[in-house]
Amino acid sequence: MGTGECNIEKTGIMTEVKPFKGILYNKNKTNGGYVDVVAPPYDVISERMRDGLYEKSAHNVIRLILGKSSPQDNETYNKYTRAGKFFDEWQKDNVLVRDDKESFYIYLQEYPHDGKKCRRVGFLGLMKIGETGKDTVLPHEYTHAKPKEDRLNLIKQVNANLSPIFTLYDDQGGDISGMLERVMRTDDPLIDIDVDGERHKLWRLSGGGSIKKIREAMKDKMIFIADGHHRYEVARTYRDIRRKKKDYDGSADHVMMYFTDLTDRDNLTVMATHRVIKRMPSADEGVIVSKLKEYFDIREYDDLAGLKKCLKENSDGDHNFGFFAGSKFLFLRPKDKKRLIGLITDKKSLDWKKLDVSVLHSAVLTGILSVDNAEGNITYVRDPEEGEILVRDGSHMAAFFLNPTRVEQLKAVAELGEMMPQKSTYFYPKLLTGLVINRFGE
C-alpha cells in the first residue's frame, strides 16, 4: 500500500466524489455538431490554433476558455467579461443546456500511438476540494502565478468549471472500471466524434445503484493530478473567496474532474517533454561532449530517427538521454548511476533524485555542464524534431531528449509530498474542453 493510502487510513480524510447536472451543447443548435464547438485544453492552444477555432463556429468553447484581447479592453470590458457574457447568452439561447438529472459522465478516448490503437476510459464527476493540509489530492508539479491569475479572472466571470482537471486513481480491483465498461457495452453514447484522428465518446451514468457504488469505492482513494495543477489551486482559491459571501450556497466546494485508473497500463500514454537549451557556458561542442564522457558512455548516430529508436529500446533503463548540439546525435548511458545521482545537491528523497528529469536538470545541466536552469533559458518541446530544428536554426545551442516519466514514479514522488521539475509528464491525448461543463449553483 502506498504512503498516500496509509495517510487516508490514519487521518480519516475521505475522498468525496459526486455526480452533477452537466451543461452540454445542444446539438440542434450547433450547425456542424460537436466537432465544431469543442477545443483542446487552453494551455496547449497556440495563437494560430485559437484563430482556427474562432472560425469554426460562433459558439466554439474557445470564446470561453481563451478569448481574444482587444485594444479597447478595460477593467469592465475584457476577454474575461466577454466570456461570462457569451456563457450567459448561450444558456439563454439554449445553445448550452443543463441536464435535468445528476450523472457521472463516462469518457472514452480511442487514439493511435506508436502504430497501435489505444484507448483510455474514465469518468467525469465533482470532487470536494480539500482543506489546506487535509487533502486527498496530490499534485506532482509546481505551479506559477501568472497562469493562476488568468484562470482566476476567468472563473470569477463564468462561475463554472469549463474544463475538467485530469486525475488518476488506483482501481486495482477493477470494480469502477467494470461498471464503466458495462455501460459502454449496453448504452449508445451521447457524443461520438472524431477530432484530428482521435475518437471521443461520452455516456451518462445516472443509475442510482451505480452512482452509490462509485461514490463508496472512491472514498478511500488518493487522487493524483496528471494535468490541471493550476486549475485545482484556482478552484480552491475561488471556493475560499465565495465562502466569505453571506449568501454562499456551497456549490464551489466541488470541482469538476476526470478520473482514470492508473493501474491499467493500457489506459495511459505518457510522453516525454524534451529540453532545448538556449545558452550554455561553452559553445564548443567538443568541450561539452568531453564533460559528458566523464559520466556517460556515448554512442553516435547519424540522424534523429536512429537516436529515437535507441532511446525507446532503452526506455526501461534509468538516466539514458539523447543529445544533439548541431553535429552528431548522441545516446548517453550512465557509467555509474550512483555517482551521477551523487551530483544532485537538492534536499529531496531518493525517489525524486532517481527521476530522469531530476538527473538531467540537477546533475547534468547544473552539476556537469553549469547550465543556467532558469525557465527562460530552456524551451520545452514534445516532438524531438522540433528540438532538432531549434538547434539547427541557431536559436538554441543544444537539445536533450528523454524517455517518459513512468506513472509509478509520479505516484511515489507525489505520495511523499514532493514536486517534480516542471514539464515532467505529458499525458496523451489531452481531454477535450466543451463536452461537459459544471456551473456552480442551480
Q: What is the CATH number of the domain that holds 388?
A: 3.30.1760
Considering the domain architecture, whether residues 182 and 265 belong to the same structural domain is answered as yes
- Is 411 domain-assigned? no
Considering the domain architecture, whether residues 225 and 252 belong to the same structural domain is answered as yes
Total number of domains in the chain:
2
- Is 415 domain-assigned? no
In the prediction, which pLDDT does 4 show?
40
Considering the domain architecture, whether residues 229 and 284 belong to the same structural domain is answered as no
Considering the domain architecture, whether residues 210 and 326 belong to the same structural domain is answered as no
Three-state DSSP at 299 gives strand
Distance linking the first and last C-alpha atoms of the chain: 40
Three-state DSSP at 195 gives strand
How far, in Å, CA of 205 to CA of 386, rounded? 41
Considering the domain architecture, whether residues 300 and 265 belong to the same structural domain is answered as no
- Is 416 domain-assigned? no
Locate the DSSP E strands across 32-164.
96-98, 104-113, 116-128, 137-138, 160-161
- Is 119 domain-assigned? yes
In the prediction, which pLDDT does 7 show?
45
Identity at 311, one-letter amino acid code? L
In the prediction, which pLDDT does 2 show?
38
Considering the domain architecture, whether residues 116 and 213 belong to the same structural domain is answered as yes
In the prediction, which pLDDT does 12 show?
60
Residues of the chain with pLDDT under 50: 1-11
In the prediction, which pLDDT does 13 show?
77
In the prediction, which pLDDT does 6 show?
38
- Is 105 domain-assigned? yes
Considering the domain architecture, whether residues 11 and 135 belong to the same structural domain is answered as yes
Q: How many residues does the chain have?
A: 442
DSSP string, 201-269: EEEEE--HHHHHHHHHHHTT--EEEEE-HHHHHHHHHHHHHHHTSTT--SGGGEEEEEEEETT-GGG-E
Taking only the tens place, the pLDDT of each residue in 77-97 is 999 999 999 999 999 999 999
Task: Report phi then psi at 307, rounded to 5.
Answer: -65, -45
How far, in Å, CA of 24 to CA of 66, rounded? 19
In the prediction, which pLDDT does 10 show?
42
Considering the domain architecture, whether residues 241 and 220 belong to the same structural domain is answered as yes
- CB 349: neighbour CB atoms within 10 A? 13
Considering the domain architecture, whether residues 368 and 352 belong to the same structural domain is answered as yes
Residue with cell 547544473: 366
- Is 413 domain-assigned? no
Considering the domain architecture, whether residues 201 and 233 belong to the same structural domain is answered as yes
- CB 32: neighbour CB atoms within 10 A? 11
- Is 345 domain-assigned? yes
DSSP state of 103: B
In the prediction, which pLDDT does 316 show?
85
Taking only the tens place, the pLDDT of each residue in 9-47 is 444 679 999 999 999 999 888 877 899 999 999 989 999
In the prediction, which pLDDT does 259 show?
97
Considering the domain architecture, whether residues 290 and 246 belong to the same structural domain is answered as no
Number of C-alpha atoms within 13 angstroms, CB side, residue 74? 2
* Structural domain for 302, as ranges: 273-403
Residue 39 β-bridge partners: 433
β-pair type (254-261, 165-169): parallel
**Residue in 184, 210, 78 with CA at minimum distance from that of residue 121:** 184
In the prediction, which pLDDT does 8 show?
47
**Which residues neighbour 441 within 8 Å (Cβ) at sequence distance 6 or greater?**
159, 249, 251
Taking only the tens place, the pLDDT of each residue in 315-333 is 888 999 999 999 999 999 9
Three-state DSSP at 34 gives helix
How far, in Å, CA of 51 to CA of 110, rounded? 26
**Which residues neighbour 93 within 8 Å (Cβ) at sequence distance 6 or greater?**
29
Considering the domain architecture, whether residues 297 and 258 belong to the same structural domain is answered as no
Please provide the average confidence, as pLDDT, over all residues in the chain.
92
Locate the DSSP E strands across 273-417.
274-277, 296-301, 321-324, 329-334, 378-381, 398-401
Residue with cell 514539464: 423
How far, in Å, CA of 434 to CA of 18, rounded? 20
How far, in Å, CA of 74 to CA of 87, rounded? 20
